[in-house]
Amino acid sequence: MKFLITGGLGFIGSALIRKIIKETDHQVLNLDKQTYASNIFNLKSIELDKRYTFVKGDICDEILIEKLLFDFQPDYLMHLAAESHVDNSINNPSEFIRTNIFGTFSLLKNSHQYWESLPLEKKEIFKFHHISTDEVYGSQISDKLFNENSRYDPSSPYAASKASSDHLVRSWFKTYNMPILISNCSNNYGPYQFPEKLIPLTILNAIQGKKIPIYGNGLQVRDWLHVEDHSTALLDIISKGKIGETYNVGGNNQIKNIDVVKKICTVLDQLGIDKPAGSKSFRDLITFVKDRPGHDLMYGIDAQKIYKDLNWSPKIRFEEGIKDTIIWYLKNKKHYL
């Protein structure tokens, strides 16, 4: 199979590409603009493989997208390119509207033309998979987890831009019969993540003896899923998912932010890393800062559908996954500092 993957130099896209190149015979074309969130180190281990091609470019560049589709002739398009950091979307939303909404439109419009041009046997294979977030559902207000029928109620400009792109993708199915799939996943963690997000930021700040900032009271709850488990889910969805469907992907692993940070500090304490001068624990670096505006209190995913229909379930327990992630950042910190 030929995969056109957008955003493959980012955190999740690179995990997906490493998996495809290392574990299958498929070919990958990675289209990435190389924004600040990308890192060429993320794909160093596979970049020389003959089945891998990289193109630097913008998903909003319609001429480029048309050319790549018709030249490469992908069987699957997996769309992960996005502006992904909520804080940036609050301070500077324009790029989120451009990349996440217009960029998705540009991919849809050109994929539609490409798909219509295919001979029947290739037309029946092609799928467009949009990789999205549980943040489209907004904050969970009761014990009821989000399922695929939950109402969209995004809070941040980031979440709203992902909700918009989900709606566009779904409309291309309803209007043009385009073979699409959408997956909405909870918070990912693991190696190769740019250190603006909670887990890598905490690890790297801690080992440099810098303060570890926590928004508000730190009681916000997120569902954490290892990026390897997410990548497996994405491959199951693109290969076995039912056209036109949405799949929620989650770890069944809701944890308060403060507990995630305390856990990282405990592991660092146990690993015997030099502690900040005069401290007994890395926990001494924790600093509560003014809460993020519109900060959702809780996200929780009901992933029964993908469990039952696609026989997927997360394999990596948080206890092990977080320890491995910390050790990985200790070994590879020079690429992320």
Ligand X SMILES: NC(=O)c1ccc[n+]([C@@H]2O[C@H](COP(=O)([O-])OP(=O)(O)OC[C@H]3O[C@@H](n4cnc5c(N)ncnc54)[C@H](O)[C@@H]3O)[C@@H](O)[C@H]2O)c1
Catalytic residues: 134-135, 158
Count the residues of the shown chain that bind ligand X, applying the rule CB under 6 A: 32
Measuring CA to CA, which residue among 83, 175, 85, 165 is closest to residue 130? 165
Residue whose Cβ sits closest to ligand X? 10
Q: Work out whether 29 is an interface residue with ligand X (CB under 6 A).
A: no
CA 229/CA 49 separation, integer angstroms: 23
Please give the backbone phi and psi of residue 288, each rounded to the nearest 5 degrees, phi first. Answer: -85, 130
Token duo for residue 126? 């092609």
Token duo for residue 26? 């498929």
Looking at the Cβ atoms of 59 and 267, the one nearer to ligand X is: 59
Among 69, 81, 178, 268, binds ligand X (CB under 6 A): 81
Report yes or no: 18 and 39 within 8 Å, Cβ to Cβ: no
Q: Work out whether 169 is an interface residue with ligand X (CB under 6 A).
A: no
Binding segment (CB under 6 A) for ligand X, from list 139-147, 186-194, 231-239, 296-304: 186-194
Provide the strand spans (E) within the chain: 2-6, 27-32, 52-56, 76-79, 127-133, 180-185, 187-189, 212-215, 221-226, 246-249, 254-256, 286-289
Q: Work out whether 35 is an interface residue with ligand X (CB under 6 A).
A: yes
Binding segment (CB under 6 A) for ligand X, from list 182-190, 235-243, 294-302, 306-314: 182-190
CA 128/CA 107 separation, integer angstroms: 9
Among 20, 80, 198, 326, binds ligand X (CB under 6 A): 80
Of 89-128, binders to ligand X (CB under 6 A) are 99, 103
Among 89, 106, 133, 205, binds ligand X (CB under 6 A): 133
Applying CB under 6 A, the residues found at the interface with ligand X are 6-7, 9-13, 31-35, 37-38, 58-60, 80-84, 99, 103, 131-133, 162, 185, 187-188, 194
